[in-house]
């Protein structure tokens, strides 16, 4: 039974989801604040469910010997060392959809607040002042809103702003003209947006491309009197440059929920007139907190029980429905990779994967990960679908894929080719209707072989006596053959044999085969068929 630790405050309903799904769960909502206690316990668990208080550092992850998945109830994963998790084969997933509406509503609320100077007017009135003329605001109706990032949250902001009768322009490299038309917004380039917008709101993740994207130079492009809202990620805006623009009057106001350094105990934006600041409250509603908690519990349960990967940040996602259909093909992809990995001693330069027929329409990124993991198991037995692509990238291995319509007798098949400086090795396989993976081609030679836990692979010239020698030698060394498959390129040409045997072949048996001088290659193979 999988075991999950909930180390931050999650709703009891979410905790119950784990229990109802048959997962053992320890609910310790304050453990995440005690690094030493977390370090001591983390090795017991298959899953870790957190919010923002728990810091899944490299040290914590190094101690997590059984951990398979970290689930973040929320969008931001800055508190998780994703590189360390990936290298250790731990899936990191978040819940990007549970708080979309809440975050979008907060951005709209912040836009109203800065347009009408509500916080300052409220503080003044609470102080017994009646400074009606001091807080002259502006209407949103008819104003141009520039939305940077028109994805899930940005899209909701666009919809709400149109309801307020604002003109909405959007910059997003992934926004098509058709989608923009459907949303009722005008797709523009960033420079055009900066020059035209009366209000600018940011809704992008923090990446190398977006970090500090609003610089002093870009602020200078904006029209005088612009108001800037950031409820996305700290570090998107140069806070020093914005503070100077606010002081000069070029920017009329700003509303920030996020900061370059959090918790933000100081900032260049603090204590400036018409600057509204909140302590990262974008997702802080009862509904959102419940939604993301339920979502992370379902996602983690789906993965631990069914192998479904949803909203993962370091592995291709695969829904529960896909996992059911693709399960045999994922296993096949792993076996094919494992076969060529066990046969390859020299450094690998490239891995080429061909998908033919029905399998070409499946989730190929997930299948790619299974192939790569199979190949890498020879050098790292602990590798999995998460860590394998990281290891391959570190070694400079080029990965290429090709998908094509059905070309042969099989409804679908996968072919894996490994390229080294000396040679290429290839193996192909398919899944029959019974869901069992099978090898159908090795080195271009057709074959039909089941995949067994213990196997023996040999190559030879197509001459009489091979079958007898194989059988006699195996028998002499106490090896029972469960299945025996042969293939050849042509009469008298190159031939191969693949034996499915009951137990691992001993070194003595391998050496006995080699001494016959009838075989080019003799290789012991092991596969995980559980």
Q: Which residues contact 524 (CB under 8 A, 6 or more apart)?
A: 454, 455, 456, 504, 505, 510
Q: Which residues of 346-372 are buried (b: 16+ CB within 10 A; e: fewer)?
A: eebeebbbbbbbbbbebbbebbbbbbb
| Mean pLDDT confidence for 229-250 | 97
Residue 70 has pLDDT above 90, yes or no: yes
The architecture of the domain spanning 3-97+287-306 is 3-Layer(aba) Sandwich (3.40)
Question: What gap in Å lies between CA 57 and CA 494, rounded to an integer?
Answer: 54
Q: What is the mean pLDDT of the chain?
A: 93
Superfamily (CATH H level) for 320-526? D-3-phosphoglycerate dehydrogenase; domain 3 (3.30.1330.90)
In terms of Cβ atoms closer than 10 Å to its own Cβ (0-12, 13-18, 19+), residue 53 is middle
| Cβ count within 10 A of residue 291 | 22
Return the pLDDT at 455: 94
Count the residues in the chain: 530
CB 50 within 8 A of CB 64: no
Residue 363 phi, psi dihedral angles, 5° rounding = -80, 85
| Mean pLDDT confidence for 500-527 | 91
Residue 206 has pLDDT above 90, yes or no: no
| Cβ count within 10 A of residue 440 | 20
Question: What gap in Å lies between CA 112 and CA 143, rounded to an integer?
Answer: 12
Residue 121 has pLDDT above 80, yes or no: yes
Residue 530 has pLDDT above 80, yes or no: no
Q: Which residues of 179-192 are buried (b: 16+ CB within 10 A; e: fewer)?
A: ebeebebbbbebee
pLDDT in tens, 260-280: 999 999 999 999 999 999 999
Return the pLDDT at 73: 93
Return the pLDDT at 152: 86
Cis peptide before 376 (omega within 30 of 0): no
Which of 116-120, 299-303, 304-308, 427-431 bottoms out in mean pLDDT, i.e. has the lowest?
Answer: 304-308
Structure tokens at 331: 């296993």
220-to-182, 214, 247 alpha-carbon distances in Å: 32, 10, 13
The DSSP line for 129-188 is ---GGG------TTPEEEEE--SHHHHHHHHHHHHTT-EEEEE-TT--HHHHHHHT-EE-
Residue 148 has pLDDT above 80, yes or no: yes
Residue 382 has pLDDT above 80, yes or no: no
Q: Where are the beta strands (DSSP E) in 271-335?
A: 275-277
Question: What gap in Å lies between CA 232 and CA 471, rounded to an integer?
Answer: 68
Kindly indicate the confidence band of residue 194, based on its pLDDT and cuts at 50, 70 and 90.
very high
Question: What gap in Å lies between CA 334 and CA 452, rounded to an integer?
Answer: 13
Sheet (strand 494-501) strand order? 481-488, 494-501, 454-461, 521-526
pTM over 0.85: no
Report the percentage of the chain scoring pLDDT > 90: 74
Q: What residue spans in the chain does CATH classification 3.30.1330.90 cover? A: 320-526
Superfamily (CATH H level) for 100-277? NAD(P)-binding Rossmann-like Domain (3.40.50.720)
Local structure of residue 237 (DSSP, 8 states): B
Residue 381 has pLDDT above 80, yes or no: no
| β-pair partners for 500 | 455, 483
pLDDT in tens, 56-69: 999 999 999 999 99
Residues catalogued as catalytic: 233, 262, 280
Helix intervals (H) in 307-456: 320-343, 364-376, 387-394
pLDDT in tens, 219-235: 999 999 999 999 999 99
Q: What residue spans in the chain does CATH classification 3.40.50.720 cover? A: 3-97+287-306, 100-277
Return the pLDDT at 384: 84
Local structure of residue 238 (DSSP, 8 states): -
């Amino acid at each position: 039974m999988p075991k999950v630790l909930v180390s931050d405050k999650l709703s009891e309903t979410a905790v119950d989801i784990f229990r109802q799904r048959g997962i053992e769960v320890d609910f310790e909502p304050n453990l995440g604040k005690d690094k030493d206690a977390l370090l001591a316990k983390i090795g017991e668990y298959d899953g870790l469910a957190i919010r923002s208080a728990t810091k899944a550092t490299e040290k914590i992850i190094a101690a997590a010997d059984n951990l398979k998945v970290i689930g973040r109830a929320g969008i931001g994963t800055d508190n998780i060392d994703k590189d360390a998790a990936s290298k250790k084969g731990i899936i990191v997933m978040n819940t990007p959809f549970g708080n979309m509406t809440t975050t979008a509503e907060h951005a709209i609320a912040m836009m109203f607040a800065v347009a009408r100077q509500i916080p300052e007017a409220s503080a003044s009135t609470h102080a017994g002042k009646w400074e009606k003329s001091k807080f002259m605001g502006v209407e949103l109706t008819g104003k141009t809103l520039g939305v940077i990032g028109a994805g899930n949250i940005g899209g909701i902001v666009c919809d709400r702003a149109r309801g307020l009768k604002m003109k909405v322009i959007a910059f997003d490299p992934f926004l098509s003209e058709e989608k923009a038309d459907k949303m009722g917004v005008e797709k523009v380039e960033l420079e055009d947006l900066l020059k035209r917008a009366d209000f600018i709101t940011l809704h992008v993740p923090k990446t190398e491309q977006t970090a500090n994207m609003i610089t002093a130079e870009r602020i200078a492009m904006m029209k005088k009197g612009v108001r800037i809202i950031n409820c996305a990620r700290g570090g998107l805006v140069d806070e020093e440059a914005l503070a100077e623009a606010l002081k000069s009057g070029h920017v009329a106001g700003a509303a920030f929920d996020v900061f370059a350094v959090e918790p933000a105990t100081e900032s260049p934006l603090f204590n400036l007139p018409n600057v509204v600041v909140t302590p990262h409250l974008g997702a802080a509603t009862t509904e959102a907190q419940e939604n993301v908690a339920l979502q992370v519990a379902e996602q983690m349960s789906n993965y631990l029980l069914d192998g479904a990967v949803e909203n993962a940040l370091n592995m291709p996602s695969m829904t529960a429905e896909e996992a059911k259909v693709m399960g045999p093909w994922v296993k096949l992809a792993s076996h094919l990779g494992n076969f060529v990995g066990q046969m390859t001693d020299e450094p690998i330069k490239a891995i080429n994967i061909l998908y033919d027929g029905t399998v070409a329409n499946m989730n190929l990124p997930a299948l790619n990960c299974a192939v790569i993991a199979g190949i890498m198991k020879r050098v790292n037995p602990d590798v999995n679908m998460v860590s394998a692509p990281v290891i391959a990238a570190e070694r400079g291995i080029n990965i290429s894929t090709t998908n094509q319509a059905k070309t042969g007798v099989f409804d679908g098949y996968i072919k894996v080719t490994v390229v080294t400086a000396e040679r290429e090795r290839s193996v192909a396989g398919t899944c029959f209707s019974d869901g069992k993976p099978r090898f159908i081609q090795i080195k271009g030679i057709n074959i039909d072989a089941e995949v067994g836990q213990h196997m023996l692979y040999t190559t030879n010239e197509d001459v009489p006596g091979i079958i007898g020698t194989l059988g006699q030698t195996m028998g002499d060394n106490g090896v029972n053959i469960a299945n025996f498959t042969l293939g050849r390129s042509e009469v008298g040409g190159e031939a191969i044999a693949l034996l499915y045997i009951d137990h691992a072949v001993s070194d003595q048996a391998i050496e006995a085969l080699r001494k016959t001088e009838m075989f080019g290659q003799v290789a012991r193979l092991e596969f995980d068929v559980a």
